[in-house]
Structures are given as structure tokens and as C-alpha cells.
Structure 1
Amino acid sequence: MKTFVIFLLPCILLILARAQDNNGSFDPYATLFSPYTKQQWRSYQEKKINEGRKTELTFKVTYANGTQVEGAKLYIKQLSSDFHWGCGMTHRILNNTAYKKWFASKFTAADFHNELKWYWTERIQGQENYTDPDAMMKFADEHGIIVRGHTVLWDDVKYNQKWVKKLSPEKLLEAANKRVDSVVKRYKGRLIGWDVMNENLHHNFFEKRLGKNASSLFFNRVHKIDPDAILFMNEFNTTEHVNDELAPPEKYLRRMKKIQSFPGNSEIKMGIGLESHYGAEPIDLNYVRNSLDSLSQTGLPIWLTELDVKMDPKLQNSSGLQVIYLEEILRESFSHEAVKAMIIWTGASIDGCDVMCMTDENLVNTPIGDLIDALMEEWRTGEIEVVADFNGSCEVSVFNGGYEVTVVDPVTNGSSCVSFKADKVSSKKVDLKIMS
């Protein structure tokens, strides 16, 4: 027993030592043994947000002759963000002007709930109808909202039309190929990406009838039509539940590699779609982080595509807990640099949201809406004002995205305006000239 304790103690000390980052601050994810508080967890999230979502910029202001401009005023305005807040959208938005204004004022990304799905556009075989998605795409285009194509096909048998289920394998392949060609060619170049075969870890409708490579074949077909689009796997319970054996990160990645290794698929731009339907129990943030860490090793963009938190109405303080759990998963996800977007499922009660709503029927915020608005504000730079020092320099930390800076001469009040990009790739130094 003494030998075991002597051996174990250095191991524990080593792990605790590794729980300190280079600055000596606490890293709750590096240790299995030491307890950590919510405050420590939040501090680590903030650290990762600052590292992955923000850029330290240095502005240098000079006159045309190179003289440094002490006291120059800089007005910095964020025009866009590299991170997308999104929301589910339905056809109900089409005839509601107030709802359109609300949606466009908040979100830069969207998933259509049902309107792009096969059962919506071809309920009766041979009778296609794209009226709703066409109008919804038009609205999105007019307001600069990027849209994911959700979904080309769905591997769950219960979400395929009766006439589809009755087809022979030969006729099913013919009909599915026609469906792919129809929807992808129609919106080619207008979507950020496509969910090609929805939920193909939990379900296998097409694999059972067309063979084990069915998903890979359809990824190949979509890519050939729309080669610039990101093609997503889209799955639930990859981060939500540690006990779901069908879709943990390792199986998600295994299926993705199988699709990528299929002949002709090596050049596909892949994306990781995580539905993110959380339940009425405390969220295992450690499992979420470990899962996102594993998935992010691919270097591929991660999108949370249908994010919500479903609560048991019988649970005491269920509405309050829903807000708490939602904030936890939003903060944890945003602290991962690989997560490029989060799409809330869904927004206004006008859309008949049955899990959580951001607003009531009058577009007045619910507590969920208040939380999301607050985080949107917290995770943007907005507008800031700084003054150059005696060297004509100043430093600011901004969230990654597009910016416009107006520099004002302290003597003449003359001004000039420059647009620039803040991210890991772009220059961290912005030179500003005041023309005398």
C-alpha cells in the first residue's frame, strides 16, 4: 500500500502542475483530480475566447511626410463578425413584416426547418414545389443572411415520403439522384453548405436499400454539382449525451473519413454539423469540451446547427434552469475557436417553437431572448474610441471580423476612413495616414 501511495503522489502532483497554463492560471480541463469552481471554469472560457476570438491590433497614425500624429482620435466600428449567430427559419416569416425585420436585425445565418427537405418540395412523386424555399432564399439574400441547405436527404425512414419508401432499390436510386440534382442545382452557389445525408449515424434508410456506401455516393454527387459548398454531416448526441453509443465523436469522425476516402471525395470541403439538442439535466461541460476538442483536430469548421435546451415543465424552476443550461452551453461552445456558428432552434413563437423561444407572439423577448441578446452584445466589439499616444500609436483588442476606422487630425479636425480585417491571418498592425 505504501508503495502504491508513493508512486501515485508524484503522478497527482504532475497532473496538477499541468493544470497551470504558461501564465500560471488554472486550466480545469487539464486535470482529472483537483476540484474546480464555476468561476475557474468561466475564467478558462474567457481565456480561450480572448485567444481564439480576438486580435490585438496596433494602430500607427502619421502624416503623409511620415511625422507621427500625437493625439489623433480613432473611431473604430465593427462592420461584421467572423462568427455567425443564426436562427431556424420557417415559411411563416414570409408574410410577417415585423418578424422579417426582427430576424434580419439579429442573425447572419439560418437553417430552414423543413422547407428544403424532400418531403416538403416533392410530397407527391413528380410534383415539385419550391415556392416557400425560393421566397425564403430571396429574403435571406436581400439581407446578407447565409443559409445552410438542410437537408438534401434524410436517413431516417420516418421522414421519407410514403411513395419513396415503396420504391425498389433501382427506382429509389433514380428518384434520390433526381432529388439531389433538382435541389442542389437550383440553389448552387447561393448556400454556404449542404447537409447531404441527415443523421446517418443514427439511421440507415438509404444504406439498407442502396448499400453501405450510399452516403458517400450522395456526397460525391452533391460535390460535383456545387464544388464550392461545405458539405456537412449533421448529427445529434455527438456532444449532448455521453451514453449514446451511436454517435460519439470517434464514430462521427470514422464515418466522415469513410466518406472522404470514397473515390472522388478527397477534394470535398467537409464541415461538422452538430444539432446540439440538450435536455433537462445539467450539461456535462467536460464531455462537451472533450468532444469539441476531438472534432476540432480535423481542422474543419464546426457548426451548432439546431441548438436548444429542452426542459421538463414538471421540473421545479424549469424556465430558470433552461436559461442557466443554455448560457452554459453557449459559453462553452463559443470558447472553442473551431465553432464557427451557432444556430438557435428556434427564435420567435410565431414559428411555433415547441422547445424554447426567444420571443413571444408579439416579438417581446423571453428570458431566453434576453440571454442571447446579452451574449451577442458581449461577444462583439461594437464601436470604440481611442487616442494615439506621443508616438502616434495605440493598441486595442477586438473580436475578429471586418472593421472601419475613422482617424481625425487633432489640429485640423480633418479625417480619413479605412476598412480592414482583424483575424489571425491579417496584419496586426494598421497604418493610418492623415493627408495634410
Structure 2
Amino acid sequence: MKTLVIFHALCILLILGYCDVTQAQINEDTVDHYATAKASENKGIDFDENTLFSPFTKQEWRSYQEKKINEGRKTLLNFTITYKNKTAVKDANLYMKQLTSDFHWGCGMTHRILNNTAYKKWFASKFTAADFHNELKWYYTEPKQGEENYTDPDAMIKFADEHGIIVRGHTILWDDVKYQQKWVRKLSPDKLLEAANKRVDSVVKRYKGRLIGWDVMNENLHHNFFEKRLGKNSSAYFYNRVYNIDPSTTLYMNEFNTTEQVDDKWASPEKYLRKLKAIQAYPGNSGMKMGIGLECHYGAEPIDLHYVRNSLLSLSQTGLPIWLTELDVKMDPTLPNKTQLQVIYLEEILRESFSHAAVKAIVIWTGSSIDGCDVMCMTNEKLENTPVGDLIDKLMVEWRTGSIKVVSDSNGSSQVSVFNGQYEVTVVDPVTNASTSVSFKVDKVSIPDKVIHLQIPG
């Protein structure tokens, strides 16, 4: 009985719950409401940020997510198709193919990928972004003072470059004392500053212009190794040093529990923003490009989606890009049906996160169990999908336009809503099969009037 009670407690999502769940049956259909008091299935509700704590059904919550996705991630295009003489082309076939997406699916990567051809092919076929687990960290590249080794990150970045995968630099420095090399811990403040400056200069100059961003001082809300030894402005100082070396690259604060834990006193959205503003206010940092890095290591406890939503809303007010940098969901290994619950929790986090347009990328932690799978993986060592992998594959398809066909009406017009990204469009005359092709960027600013004029030869 005790096990069953604990199990049902863990199945509560939000304030709200995954209710009436038995140990024998856990699937999407069992999630029958999204609040302690169930709202009417027929109740028409128009969500806004002032009604976040009202009782809504799952259907209503999901409808709001879809509304925000349509508003923030998609663009409604109007095509007009004519001949050279301006005559409208009726029944013209218009084929659209999405080449790239404005949203990045990313994955954690380790040096194990370097000698595994199948894993390379799998990774490159799915992801457009990567975070290295350890290979760019100071303790990896300089385990002994003065003996730097960039062999692995050099090869990993080369692989990424060859396959159009953007890489985040994770991380230049880490504020947690337990991740400092023994020789670093022994340094006096003056020698520590000298060594840290050398580290910054070495790694940033080496990869200048090749990375999409840098985690400059990792987890500097929960930890303060450098602040205690070098002063309270040491984070801001190192951001400034990186900025002066590589001014075009986005610099991130990367932190855990800003969306995961409502009761974490160190990393609330308010404290995150306070620290970020302090870094921006440091002399010389006013023009620095900054971004928000959220690790998103969700634990086995129920996930409060209301808190996730409010946190993302608060952070998005900065106008800065948000990356979910290390997303996973940890489950109690003794919990019955833990795999099904992990997929359910993960889907809710992914859908809620994707509904915020400020979230530019989600990095899954980790891809294959080849890289180790202590929390969550998409595949086993044979690169066969886990249930988590099946879910992510499904959402990758759902959140991409792919290839579509539309037909013009009698006025030569057609309309289609597509996910933002780069497209190739071919229009074909229904009578002569004459065609023309164009490529263009679709987003909220590239096509101001949302109208595209295409002309068929003839």
C-alpha cells in the first residue's frame, strides 16, 4: 500500500495531476485534467498570462500551447502566381520544402563519437546543435598545469563543422569548487587570476568565430569558487575578457533549477536576472551579446508546469535567446512504470518549452547510451530508439513543415502556414509543366507583408 501511495504521489503533475493512474496502465489517455478541480470539457477559455493559475483541462492547456506555437513559431504566407503578362495561373502546383529550421534540436556529445561511424551518421541526421559533455572544460583540456590538450574538442568541432552542426562552448570556467583541478585549488588568488586568464585566452582564441556561444562561468548562482577568491565581480570580469576576445559570439549564463525547482533559493528567475543584469552593467559589457542557458535537469518529483511557464515568461522579457542546454528527466529506478512516466513528463516539458518563442533550441542530454545513460537516452548502444527517442522523433516531425504541396485558386492565390526557417519553393504550370524555383527565409521580419509573388515562364 505504501508503494502505491508513493507512486500516485509521483504521478501528480503540476498542482494538478496525472490522476486515476494505475500501476498497470500509464499512457497519454490517463492524463485527464490539468488542475485540482477539473474544468468543463466544453468550457471555452482564451488563455492569457493573467489566468495561469485557473483550473484548465489538459485539452485547454494544450490548445494554449498550440496557439502560442502558431503565433511565435509559424508564419502565414500568401502566394500569388502569375505569367509574365500578369495573368493569374489557376491550379498551379506549388511545392514547398523546408531546408532549415529557425529552431534547433541539439544533443549532448562526447569524444566517444569520434571512433563510431554509425553514431556519427545518427547524430548528424538528427541534430543541428551540440553541447560537449566535458571535452571543452578546463579540467579536461589542462588536467596538469601547463599541459594543454585540445585533441578531442578539435576533432569534435571539425565533425560538427563538416555536418552543419552548431556548437555551444561548454564551459570556459566553472564556479563549483569540486570541478576544479587539484592544482587550481592550491593557487593563491594572484596565481589563480593569472591561470584563469590564461585559460580564457587559450580556449576562446583557439575557437574564436567557430562557436555559436560560450558558457563563460558555469553555475555561478549556486557556486562561487572564483567569487570567493577573486571578488564578487569576477564573473562579470571574465565575461568582459571573453567579450573582448570574441565580441560576435553570444555569452551565456548557464544554470540549473531556474525552471525545475520552485523552492530553490539560489537560482530563481528573479535571481538569475539580477545576476545577468549585474554582468551586463560591468564596465565595458554594455554591448555584449548575452543569452540565457537553462540546464533543465528535471528530477523524479512531479513537474510544476505552471512554474516552468512563469519562469520562461519572466526570462523571455529580456529579449535574449533562451537555450535549454542539458535537458533530461530523472526517474526513481524503483518506480513501477518509470519509463512511461519519464516519457509523459518529458513530453509536457518539451511542449511547454517549445510554446515559448524565446526558446531557440533544446539540447537533449543524452543521445545514445554509447555516451553513458545514467539519466535519459534516446537510443541504446545499437542506436535503436528508446521510448524517449520515439517521443523526440515524433516531435521533430510535428514541429517541422517538411515538404508540402498547395494548389493556386482561380486568382492564382494560395495560402499556407509554415514553421519559420529557410525554404525552397517550386511552382509548376498545370498545362505546360513550365516551372520556376526560388529560395527564401521565412520569419516574422524577412517577408514584412507575408506576400510572395511567383512568376511562371511563358
Instruction: Return the alpha-carbon distance in structure 1 between the equivalents of residues 117 and 152 of structure 2.
Output: 16
Of residues 154, 174, 182, the one that matches 2:194 is 174
C-alpha distance in 2 between matches for 1:264 and 1:168: 27
| Distance of 2:52 and 2:454 partners within structure 1 | 49
| 2: CA distance, partners of 1:385 / 1:33 | 41
4+ aligned runs moved over 4 Å, structure 1: none
Counterpart residue number, 2:297: 277
Equivalent residue number for residue 389 of structure 2: 369
**Residues 23-422 of structure 1 aligned to structure 2 (within 5 Å):** 25-27=45-47, 29-31=49-51, 34-422=54-442
**For residue 14 of structure 1, what is the aligned residue in structure 2?**
none
SS at match of 1:185: helix
Residue by residue, what CA displacement relative to the aligned partner does 1:218-251 show, whole Å, maximum 9, x if unpaired? 0000000110000000000000000100000000
Residues 30 and 63 of structure 1: CA distance in aligned 2, closer, same or farther (over 3 Å): same
Q: Which runs of 5+ in 2 are unaligned?
A: 1-38
* Alpha-carbon displacement from aligned partner over 1:147-180 (angstroms, at most 9, x marks no partner): 0000000000000100000000000000000000
Worse-superposed segment, 245-254 or 65-74: 65-74
Contact residue 260 and residue 268 of structure 1 kept, 8 A: yes
Is the partner of 1:126 in helix, strand or coil? coil
Q: 3-state SS of the aligned residue for 1:30?
A: helix
| Structure 1 residues 376-404: Cα deviation after superposition (integer angstroms, max 9, x where no partner) | 00000010011111111100000000000
In the superposition, the TM-score normalised over structure 1's length comes to 0.94
Instruction: Structure 1: give runs of 5+ residues left out of the alignment.
Output: 1-18
CA distance in 2, matches of 1:352, 1:339: 27
Structure-2 change in CA distance of 1:28 and 1:312 (3 Å): farther
1:95-143 Cα offsets, whole Å, 9 max, x none, are 0000000000000000000000000000010000000000000000000
CA distance in 2, matches of 1:324, 1:309: 10
Residue 414 of structure 1 and its aligned partner are, at CA, apart by: 1.1
Task: Report how many residues are paired.
Answer: 414
Q: CA deviation at 1:216?
A: 0.4
Offset of 1:32 from its aligned partner?
Answer: 6.1
- Structure 1 vs Structure 2 CA RMSD: 1.1
CA distance in 2, matches of 1:347, 1:237: 22
CA distance in 2, matches of 1:32, 1:191: 37
SS at structure 2 position matched to 1:327: helix
Tell me which moved more, 214-223 or 314-323: 314-323
Inter-partner Cα distance in structure 1 for 2:55 and 2:225:
45
Q: Which residue of 2 aligns with 1:431?
A: 453
| Cα separation, partners in 2 of 1:435 and 1:265, compared to 1, 3 Å | same
- When structure 1 is superposed on structure 2, of 24-33 and 143-152 the one drifting more is 24-33
Q: Deviations over 1:5-33 (max 9, x none)?
A: xxxxxxxxxxxxxx9xxxx7431753266
Looking at structure 2, the residues matched to 82 and 295 of structure 1 have their Cα atoms a distance apart, in angstroms, of 20
The 8 Å contact of residues 236 and 278 in structure 2, kept in 1 or not, is answered as yes
Q: Normalising by structure 2, what TM-score?
A: 0.89
- AA aligned opposite 1:77: K
SS at match of 1:381: coil
Whether the 8 Å contact between 2:52 and 2:306 is mirrored in structure 1 is no
Contact 1:28 1:40 in 2 (8 A): no
